[in-house]
A and B are shown apart, each in its own frame.
Chain A
Amino acid sequence: MSLSSRFQLVWLLLTKMTFRHWRNKAGHYLLLMVIVAVGVGAFNGIRQASRSASANFGLFNQAVSGQSDFLIESPTQRLLEKDLKQLARLGKSPDWNLVPVVEGSVTAVELINGAKKQLRLIGLDLLALGNLPTLTQQNLKFSEENASWYDWLGSDNEVWVGQSLADSVGVTGGDTISFLASGRKAKMKIRMILDDPDGNLPDDLVLGDLPTVQHLLSRSGELNRVEVVLTQVDRREDKPYLAEIEDRLRKELPRNLILSPTENRAADRAAMTAAFRLNLTILSLIAILVGAYLILQALDAAVVRRRAEIATLRSLGVGASVLFSTFLLEALVLGLLGSIAGVGVGQVLAFGAVGMLADTVNALYFATSVEALSVTSLDVIVGVGLGVAFSLLAGWLPARDATQTPPAQILAKGDWSPGFFWLRKPKVGLCLLGLGGVALCFPPFIMEAGSKMPVGGFVAAGCWILGSALLAGHGLVLLAGWVRPFCSGPVSRLACSRLWDGSSRHRLAVAGLVVAVSMVTGMFQMIESFRDTIEEWFDVRFQADLYISESGVTGAGSINGIDPTLLDGLLRQPNIKYADIMRICYAKPARGVTVLAGVDMKHWSQEARQIWLKEPGTLQSVKGTEPALVSETFARRFGVLEGGVVELQTPSGMQKVSPFGIFCDYGNEFGMAAISQLEWIKWTGSERAVNVSLYLEDRSKLKEMRDQLRIAYPGLDIRNERELRDVALGIFEQTFQATHALSLIGLAVAFAGLLLGLLSIFDESTQTWQTLKHLGFSTQRFILAAGLEGAGIGVAAWVVGAITGLALGWLLVFVINVQSFGWTLLWTVPLANILWFGVLLTVVGFVSGMISASYWNFRRR
């Protein structure tokens, strides 16, 4: 048979046979496509949302000043104006423009309905912007035509916003916005709404002249960075030219500053969130996996239903390869249609997820604002490609199954099915479990920004989930065998014996559920372990009476710090016994970024309570280096768990720190080294505190003092320990929103799978049911038996899934978390939750069984 005539035959079978079945079971196939769509959609949605949420990398000014080519920064991310004077020579070349930037996060308050909004305040030299090539094209205007240039420069409080921000907070030109920054409450006046027809300006961007913004942020004399924008924008991609420019820039660059191509920053930031994004991607892949499993299940059921038809076709001389191709094509069409719909579903899911992912990135990594969601052609290709690939893989086994059995046997045995032999043999499953154990020995993969990817941990998790899914059928049979003697009535005996038979369909149904159950159970444990650890950490670490920080700023990358003069005034209040002042900044190790803190070392090492991994003094600081207390994450990242030296680039040059104690800290995953206040101020040239913990003389006046301070300092957050804990846990909950959402999607897909699986099971057992009916088995009994069968599958899936989930929980807490983030968590097993989950599964299984049996019965009639 020629290729074209073979194709014609396959097409004929698809259109005449397959699509006829689809029409007869339109709801069933539609549900299947919806499941594939949700699977692909979850993957694509998370992909788009995390890209959109973390793409903006904090270079907010680029919406105004255009793309920059290089960045000049201080190792602590805080430049001083005096550094500009050193850069003046560099600014003489016409080949580039130096663009100093100051930026900060402020909280707009007293908006309409008393709402608050986090805004990014960006200060640029508005006059010098006119020299930038992009701005000339954008034609941004900062004043009315008749105004003089000096009218709009250097004012105390005038700012510019885009139309989208003006609309969202309901302001127009001339209005004022009250806001909190650096602990102060102040007002800014909207000079003009910027004309932004293309909507380039983010809806949280407030633009001001650089000195104005310094004033508004109480950060006079400070900058964040200087961006370098090439004059010849058409040579941006010209690598030799860029190399020449970089070389020239480096020749004149002051030694205390760092020059890097902007794309490095993007890569740094991308690398910083790589682990976070990969975790999400893996979680979202689960939905596709479950979807693929469902296709396998559905096609397998289709093979069962159409076996007589297949046998007839085979008898008529249709070749095995043609049948194989037809079933594979069916899987392809299912996958393709589902995946295309999945691209749309992904857009909807991304829309829902982007906000929470942006919040997470803001809270944990760096300041970002959400970019417009966009579906790229790559998204479509990856989404559809994955959907189709998994569908084809899923269709492979049923297609092979359809062609392997001789027609005579099929016609003779009715609903006989060879089933999936690999579900009946425990070897593969056991091997996978063993392989997972071996994978634990793999070392973590070290990524660009210095963060670690626990490759072995992820491989082990995958092996264990897959292995337990394959073994789940045996668990079902085992459980049914145990329960069987206790079944007395015909209904329960029937249900139990069917489970004990352990058909391929039953085994598949359990396997699919086990994947979802084990993942959710593992996640439960990790989240609970995290929460318990943080609560324990709070109990021990936070013993002060009042905690003071800049108001409204919670993000890791958007801290302005407390205005030093404001803090001086606050610390002169009576009733303060001791103030533990903390100063932090970023510092550059050889790879990635870490946090350098300035603290009262005597208080931290002798008086304050900490969870110590290594008590102060256990380690010996190396002579000639700065003694430091380092966090566990820092110690693991830089390999100083047993002591040693880490070199950090600071504004005062390279400095060496050496740990003499290691404390547990769950504040960030970049690690923290705490050195003495005096040395910190000397190294960084700044005195700005990020937070202060107050110990009071008279604790009975705590509430009174807190209220007094709140009135006196409206721009500061003044909290007691309980309030601080609530805020921290709030951030914690926020970071796990996406995880929760993905777990729910996985569960929903799994439950839909259970429903489909049960329908297939009943389809396969058509002759059995009919015989029973003839013997007097009522419809009610049949539905009840189906319910019990479903419940049995639920219980078996829960038992196997929970055991696997416990192993996954251990893996997440002790391997993946330690390797990814460098912190050890207390392992908490939320037994009650797991038990409730079991009950839920059993009930859902029972209801699913009854629903599918009723539907099956209704269809038969």
Chain B
Amino acid sequence: MKIIFGFLLISCLNIHAEWIEPPTRSSKGFLVPTADYIPTFPQDHGAHRGYALEWWYWVGHLETVNDGQKYGFQSTVFRVAGDPKNSKDSETETFGSRQLFLAHSALSDRSEKKYLHHERVLREGWQAQASKDTLGLEVAGIEARMLVDGKGHHLTTHYPGGGKLELELIPAKPLVRFGERGLSRKGDGAASVSWYWSYSRLKATGVLSHNGQVQKVRGFAWMDHEISSSQLGKGLAGWDWTCMQLDDGTEVKAYRLRKDDGSSDRWSAVYWIDAKGKTQHVYADQFTWGEEGDWTSPTTGLTYPTYIRINADHPTRGKQSYRLRPIIDDQEFYGNRADNAYWEGACDVISPDDEVIGRAYLELAGYGGGLGARLN
């Protein structure tokens, strides 16, 4: 009951944008996330096969216990449903054809200034499985499951060169649901909504095998689980997104939905999560996403605005300013298809006084074009 009350309170605080009622089905026939849905866990950590798109996303900053070497990591599993007529049904085939999975894993080595990344695209089957009852992912080199006590989860990620990161992730704050009435809106399209649930601060401990060394690591991670059937509204080219974990124990999540003409969509937003897990947010008219520098990829030739300044009006604390600085310039993730490239990297958060006040992950997607069409 307390939980329900908490959700309602958060919702009330946030209701000031236009409400667009989502349809029950997307234009392709997939289920659309419904408003006021109260997730039940661990079941809702599992796969939602009837929805077109879903991803489980972990990023974080780690340091080795022995010598304090710093790393950033990203482990993402995407699920893309197949034919809406039968994608909902479970499948036990070795080579299934109802669900497609992508596994993206990356490791940013701050001291060596090196970025390792890898992509696998697989159909549901012997190399890609996602439980629909709990957190249970086995997709190529990424495995995630609930810990036995159900309070956290275990994440294993394999890297090129025989490396491996094994982490136990324990939530330091309760799970956060973003958006109005439990729906995060991603554009004016009625179906462009998602269930967007996050653990904004996970205490991470584990072991990193990298460069032939096995070292204990610790740090903090962020986890998103997002489910939708139309991730981007029409006319949107991509998004810039960041999650910041500040040293004062709060977190900030900000995203700019970029229109085809380069301007920000009105559903772009900044969320603040306080030390107890309560959120406040503002929309596009109350924050700016400034670009202070960019980086051009020698591999794909794409240019990403990786140096960011976010100025926002906090509903209660007034003007806030955050600058993001990548720990390594080259944190471009590209898979087998160059047009799928995006920049996803570990950053420091810098205050207006030029002090490091936290750590962040920054995602710059859709700079290669065509993303909107794929996620509509």
Interface residues of A (CB under 8 A from B): 81, 84-85, 87-88, 91-95, 98, 125, 127-128, 130-131, 136, 148-150, 153-154, 209-211, 231-232, 248
Whether A85 lies near B97 (C-beta < 8 A) is no
B93-121 interface mask toward A, CB cutoff 8 Å, 1 = contact, 0 = none? 11111101000010000000000001111
Q: Which 8 pairs of residues, A with B, have the shortest CB-CB distance?
A: A150-B82, A154-B97, A94-B118, A153-B97, A94-B160, A84-B126, A92-B141, A81-B94
Known contacts A94-B118, A128-B121, A150-B82; A84 and B97 CB within 8 A of each other: no
**Interface residue? B83 (CB, 8 A):** yes
Complex interface: chain B residues within 8 A of A131 (CB): 119-122, 336
Whether B100 lies near A127 (C-beta < 8 A) is yes
Docked pose: A231 CA to B117 CA in angstroms? 12
Docked pose: A87 CA to B127 CA in angstroms? 9
Whether A91 lies near B127 (C-beta < 8 A) is yes
B141 (CB) vs chain A CBs: closest residue: A92
Known contacts A125-B95, A153-B97, A154-B97; A88 and B83 CB within 8 A of each other: no
Whether B162 lies near A93 (C-beta < 8 A) is yes
Complex interface: chain A residues within 8 A of B162 (CB): 93, 95, 248
Complex interface: chain A residues within 8 A of B95 (CB): 125, 154, 209-211
Docked pose: A209 CA to B160 CA in angstroms? 28
Q: How far is the CB of B99 from chain A (nearest CB, A)?
A: 9
Complex interface: chain B residues within 8 A of A211 (CB): 93-95, 97
A81 (CB) vs chain B CBs: closest residue: B94
Q: Which of B127-146 contact A (CB under 8 A)?
A: 127, 138, 140-141, 143
Whether B126 lies near A85 (C-beta < 8 A) is yes
Whether B160 lies near A128 (C-beta < 8 A) is no
Whether A148 lies near B141 (C-beta < 8 A) is no
Complex interface: chain B residues within 8 A of A150 (CB): 82-83, 97-98, 100
* B122 partner, pick from A81, A85, A127, beta carbons under 8 A: A127
Whether A94 lies near B82 (C-beta < 8 A) is no
User: Can you name 18 A-B pairs with beta carbons within 8 Å?
Assistant: A84-B94, A85-B126, A88-B138, A91-B126, A92-B141, A94-B105, A94-B120, A94-B159, A94-B160, A95-B162, A127-B121, A128-B122, A130-B336, A149-B82, A150-B100, A154-B96, A211-B93, A231-B118
Q: How far is the CB of B109 from chain A (nearest CB, A)?
A: 16
**Interface residue? B337 (CB, 8 A):** yes
* B127 partner, pick from A88, A153, A248, beta carbons under 8 A: A88
* B82 partner, pick from A87, A148, A231, beta carbons under 8 A: A148
B331-364 interface mask toward A, CB cutoff 8 Å, 1 = contact, 0 = none? 0000011000000000000000000000000000
Whether B100 lies near A149 (C-beta < 8 A) is yes
Complex interface: chain A residues within 8 A of B120 (CB): 94, 131
Complex interface: chain A residues within 8 A of B143 (CB): 92
Whether B337 lies near A136 (C-beta < 8 A) is yes
Complex interface: chain B residues within 8 A of A84 (CB): 94, 126
Whether B123 lies near A128 (C-beta < 8 A) is yes
Q: How far is the CB of A92 from chain B (nearest CB, A)?
A: 5
Whether B123 lies near A91 (C-beta < 8 A) is no
Whether B160 lies near A95 (C-beta < 8 A) is yes
**Interface residue? B158 (CB, 8 A):** yes
Docked pose: A145 CA to B94 CA in angstroms? 27
Q: How far is the CB of A89 from chain B (nearest CB, A)?
A: 10
**Interface residue? B301 (CB, 8 A):** no
Complex interface: chain B residues within 8 A of A95 (CB): 160-162
Docked pose: A358 CA to B249 CA in angstroms? 73
Complex interface: chain A residues within 8 A of B118 (CB): 94, 231
Whether A94 lies near B141 (C-beta < 8 A) is yes
Docked pose: A131 CA to B98 CA in angstroms? 19
Q: Which of B292-350 contact A (CB under 8 A)?
A: 336-337
Docked pose: A95 CA to B158 CA in angstroms? 10
Whether B336 lies near A93 (C-beta < 8 A) is no
Complex interface: chain B residues within 8 A of A125 (CB): 95, 123
Mostly helix, strand, loop or mixed at chain B's interface?
strand
Q: How far is the CB of A56 from chain B (nearest CB, A)?
A: 26
Most chain A CB within 10 A, of B96, B119, B140, is at: B140
Interface residues of B (CB under 8 A from A): 82-83, 93-98, 100, 105, 118-123, 126-127, 138, 140-141, 143, 158-162, 336-337
Whether A153 lies near B123 (C-beta < 8 A) is yes
Whether A130 lies near B94 (C-beta < 8 A) is no
Q: How far is the CB of B121 from chain A (nearest CB, A)?
A: 5
Complex interface: chain A residues within 8 A of B161 (CB): 95
Whether A130 lies near B160 (C-beta < 8 A) is no
A128 (CB) vs chain B CBs: closest residue: B122
B163 (CB) vs chain A CBs: closest residue: A94
Q: How far is the CB of A171 from chain B (nearest CB, A)?
A: 25
Docked pose: A125 CA to B140 CA in angstroms? 15
Complex interface: chain A residues within 8 A of B160 (CB): 94-95, 231-232
Whether B100 lies near A94 (C-beta < 8 A) is no
* B121 partner, pick from A93, A94, A130, A232, beta carbons under 8 A: A130
Docked pose: A211 CA to B94 CA in angstroms? 9
Whether A92 lies near B123 (C-beta < 8 A) is no
A95 (CB) vs chain B CBs: closest residue: B160
Complex interface: chain A residues within 8 A of B100 (CB): 127, 149-150
Docked pose: A148 CA to B86 CA in angstroms? 14
Docked pose: A279 CA to B161 CA in angstroms? 47
Docked pose: A594 CA to B272 CA in angstroms? 70
Most chain B CB within 10 A, of A85, A98, A150, is at: A150
Complex interface: chain B residues within 8 A of A153 (CB): 82, 97, 123
Docked pose: A84 CA to B140 CA in angstroms? 13
Q: How far is the CB of B128 from chain A (nearest CB, A)?
A: 9
A211 (CB) vs chain B CBs: closest residue: B95
Complex interface: chain A residues within 8 A of B97 (CB): 150, 153-154, 211
Known contacts A130-B336, A136-B337; A93 and B158 CB within 8 A of each other: yes
A86 (CB) vs chain B CBs: closest residue: B126
Docked pose: A130 CA to B126 CA in angstroms? 17
Q: How far is the CB of B316 from chain A (nearest CB, A)?
A: 46
Docked pose: A484 CA to B78 CA in angstroms? 99
Complex interface: chain B residues within 8 A of A148 (CB): 82-83
A150 (CB) vs chain B CBs: closest residue: B82
A127 (CB) vs chain B CBs: closest residue: B123
Most chain A CB within 10 A, of B82, B126, B141, B158, is at: B126
Whether B127 lies near A128 (C-beta < 8 A) is yes
Docked pose: A149 CA to B82 CA in angstroms? 7
Whether A94 lies near B94 (C-beta < 8 A) is no
Most chain A CB within 10 A, of B95, B98, B122, is at: B95
Q: How far is the CB of B292 from chain A (nearest CB, A)?
A: 34
B118 (CB) vs chain A CBs: closest residue: A94
Complex interface: chain B residues within 8 A of A209 (CB): 95
Complex interface: chain A residues within 8 A of B121 (CB): 127-128, 130-131
Docked pose: A384 CA to B216 CA in angstroms? 66
Complex interface: chain B residues within 8 A of A248 (CB): 162
Complex interface: chain B residues within 8 A of A149 (CB): 82, 100
Complex interface: chain A residues within 8 A of B105 (CB): 94
A132 (CB) vs chain B CBs: closest residue: B336
B98 (CB) vs chain A CBs: closest residue: A150
A125 (CB) vs chain B CBs: closest residue: B95
Q: How far is the CB of B83 from chain A (nearest CB, A)?
A: 5
Docked pose: A489 CA to B98 CA in angstroms? 97
Docked pose: A248 CA to B162 CA in angstroms? 9
Complex interface: chain B residues within 8 A of A130 (CB): 121, 336-337
Docked pose: A516 CA to B188 CA in angstroms? 89
* B126 partner, pick from A88, A231, A232, beta carbons under 8 A: A88
Complex interface: chain B residues within 8 A of A127 (CB): 100, 121-123
Complex interface: chain B residues within 8 A of A81 (CB): 94, 126
Complex interface: chain A residues within 8 A of B141 (CB): 92-94
B122 (CB) vs chain A CBs: closest residue: A128
B119 (CB) vs chain A CBs: closest residue: A131
Docked pose: A91 CA to B119 CA in angstroms? 13
Q: How far is the CB of B213 from chain A (nearest CB, A)?
A: 16
Docked pose: A210 CA to B100 CA in angstroms? 16
Most chain A CB within 10 A, of B93, B118, B123, is at: B123
Docked pose: A154 CA to B126 CA in angstroms? 15
Q: How far is the CB of A170 from chain B (nearest CB, A)?
A: 31
